[in-house]
Structure 1
Amino acid sequence: MAAAAEEHGRASRIVVAGVASLGIAVGVDGFPLTDGPTRFPEWMRTGVTGVGANVAGALRRLGDEVEFCTVIGADPPGDFIRAELRTRGLLGAGAIVGPASSLAVSFAAPDGSRAGHSLLTPVNEVDYPAEVFAKLADGADLAVMTTAGFTEPLLAQARRLGVRVAVDVHLIADVYEERRRPWLNAADILFCSHERLPCAPREWITQVFATYPGCGIAAVGCGPEGCVLGLRDGTLVRARAAPPRGVRNPVGAGDTLFASFVHSWLGSGRPVEALRQAVVHAGYTIGDCFPAEGHLSDRELRELASRHPVEVWLGRWR
């Protein structure tokens, strides 16, 4: 049995709906990228990435029972994706065949800046079978619903089954954003990035709770500044830690932060401790070149958190 199950009584059962892409990560000297002859980067990695795969992989490594609902093409990239997911214990009944596989390229510079390009159209336009999702989600502790286009109709299924929903809306600048309203309305746990917010994280969290009464936990990932998290009861938590291994590639750090929080919170019910572990795990992940390379087991994460100090401030958002 997984370490998390051994030490917390049982592993959480989580269904994740999202994209798995064939990805290439490239180290560059800096931005903007300049025109010129062929370059020979210090490092380059190929593997399976995408928000769905990153979150599902982190949860699986932490010891949770994960059902991964995704769309993979019957093409050479799809063959690679299926083989990698099988190795990671993530290829199951939730992986359906689509018209083509999604692809991704990301660039990372030594100063922590990054840029990414994702081809998601072949996946987003697929009509994912609701009965497949419903069968896998029935009785789950949590449904992680990424904002991939094919997941939108599945939100109602999660609600019908009474499964709690966790969502990361990533780059968002409007609490009323129409395109993401279905996910915002459905979320019990809501994460996002600070990068495009029109206000400070505390104010954003206040707006979220005022606008979406079903949301009980709202958090803002703040990159090198850690994370700010609010609870419906008015508690505000700020957590920050220096990356234990420095920065190689920050792509996927937010996915690890999100996955680690929900894993630890489901296992312990202690949001402050869960945020501590999530911040440490995200900081550890960016020390590797490819997102999946930096995922830790539950035992490894708790040992790292015990050695690596996390600054935490408690306050009120209201």
Structure 2
Amino acid sequence: MSKVLVSGLLNYETTARIRGFPVEYYPIDYDFFGVNSSLSGVAFNIAKAMTVLGNDVSLASLVGNDLVADMFYAELKRLGIETGHVVRKLKDTPASVVLYDESGRRQIYCDLKDIQETAYDFSGNMLDDADAVVACNINFSRPLLDMAKKRNKLIATDVHVLSNPDDDYNRDFMRYADILFLSDEGISWDKKDFLRALGDRYHNQVIVLGMGAKGAMLYMPHQNVIVEQPACHVDNVKNTVGAGDALFSAYLHYHLSGLTPVEALRRAQMFASLKIRSHGAADGFVTPDEIEKNIH
């Protein structure tokens, strides 16, 4: 069992299934069971996924003094995730609305409230037993990067949609990350060249590019090796929201378990594929035994 500190966003998420993009105007649509609300946020999704996979997770985040925060505390306690570092410091807990269609395309409206202007007081002992630190790319996680690096902790982060290797907002997260994840959605030039540009700048151990239904691309800069992995296709797909968080979580789990990057990514893709048979971003996570049953 690995011990992992996750620092990042908690938010209340509502997903709404739509007929397609662009969205045409009509005053009301009755789509039974097409609208769902759940506890979510990148840090929550990762913390829950890694707990289901068998890790000991500690979560650092900021919430408001509201009913949604009470719901998070109750659910984290039920999951066995430590809540002592989840601090009521915001005016309100962040929230999001996700529109998605049957093809898997999505449009996200994220209301971060005052989280980007609010600092988190990280104490040194939070890192004492951690085998890895997940620093989600939210402003309050920035001080954690240098703290973790000075203690020689493995740092993993997902910068999500990125269009420029020199992206100012994400530069610190990319520079400190041993394991770096991102999506291909914002990349307009050759993907392999983009990965090499990241590796040249930030010298990460591993970079993984999630490409949705097209699979994933794994780059190991120190070996100058790029591996393309096809997606694992499953039936009964309901919603692809949260698939990237699932891929990231499972990869880190298997990396910490000692698997090679290729084998870790292979299992992470199966974990993410099985997850999207559920609606919510933090729903549908399966155990390692279930992954092994489905690996071919």
Give the TM-score of the pair, scaled to structure 2: 0.94
Deviates more, 1:151-160 or 1:240-249: 240-249
User: Distance in 2 between the 1:220 and 1:29 partners?
Assistant: 29
Residue 184 of structure 2 is aligned to residue 217 of structure 1: no
Match of residue 116 from structure 1: 108
Residue 85 of structure 2 is aligned to residue 94 of structure 1: yes
The residue identity in structure 2 corresponding to 1:224 is A
Deviates more, 1:30-39 or 1:143-152: 30-39
Decide which of 102, 119, 125 is 1:127's aligned counterpart: 119
Q: How large is the Cα RMSD of the aligned pairs?
A: 1.4
User: Distance in 1 between the 2:263 and 2:135 partners?
Assistant: 23
Deviation digits for residues 199-243 of structure 1 (CA, Å, limit 9, x no counterpart): 222212211111112x11011001111100011212221111343
SS at 2:240 equivalent: coil
Decide which of 163, 168, 171 is 1:173's aligned counterpart: 163
Deviation digits for residues 113-132 of structure 1 (CA, Å, limit 9, x no counterpart): 1111111132222210121x
Deviation digits for residues 76-98 of structure 1 (CA, Å, limit 9, x no counterpart): 22122222222222242121112
What is the 5 A alignment of 1:61-76? 61-76=52-67
- Aligned residues of 1:22 and 1:80 also touching (Cα < 8 A): no
User: Distance in 2 between the 1:18 and 1:109 partners?
Assistant: 27
- Aligned residues of 2:232 and 2:269 also touching (Cα < 8 A): no
Q: How far apart are 1:34 and its partner, in Å? A: 2.3
Match of residue 36 from structure 2: 45
Decide which of 188, 191, 208 is 1:198's aligned counterpart: 188
What is the 5 A alignment of 1:79-90? 79-90=70-81
Structure 1 unaligned segments of length 5 or more: list them: 1-10, 307-318
SS at 2:207 equivalent: strand
Match of residue 280 from structure 1: 270
Match of residue 304 from structure 1: 294
How many percent of aligned residue pairs carry the same amino acid? 27
Give the TM-score of the pair, scaled to structure 1: 0.88
- Aligned residues of 1:22 and 1:81 also touching (Cα < 8 A): no
Match of residue 229 from structure 1: 218
Match of residue 185 from structure 1: 175
User: Distance in 1 between the 2:98 and 2:233 partners?
Assistant: 20
Q: How far apart are 1:290 and its partner, in Å? A: 0.9
Match of residue 247 from structure 2: 257
Deviates more, 1:241-250 or 1:114-123: 241-250
- Aligned residues of 1:244 and 1:284 also touching (Cα < 8 A): yes
SS at 2:257 equivalent: helix
SS at 1:70 equivalent: strand
SS at 1:263 equivalent: helix
Structure 2 unaligned segments of length 5 or more: list them: none
The residue identity in structure 2 corresponding to 1:113 is R
SS at 1:159 equivalent: helix
Provide closer, same or farther for how the CA distance between residues 111 and 190 of structure 1 changes in structure 2, counting only shifts above 3 A.
Answer: same
How many positions carry a matched residue from both structures? 293
SS at 2:189 equivalent: coil
User: Distance in 2 between the 1:250 and 1:68 partners?
Assistant: 24
Residue 276 of structure 2 is aligned to residue 292 of structure 1: no
User: Distance in 2 between the 1:41 and 1:98 partners?
Assistant: 37
Provide closer, same or farther for how the CA distance between residues 241 and 180 of structure 1 changes in structure 2, counting only shifts above 3 A.
Answer: closer
Provide closer, same or farther for how the CA distance between residues 204 and 244 of structure 1 changes in structure 2, counting only shifts above 3 A.
Answer: same
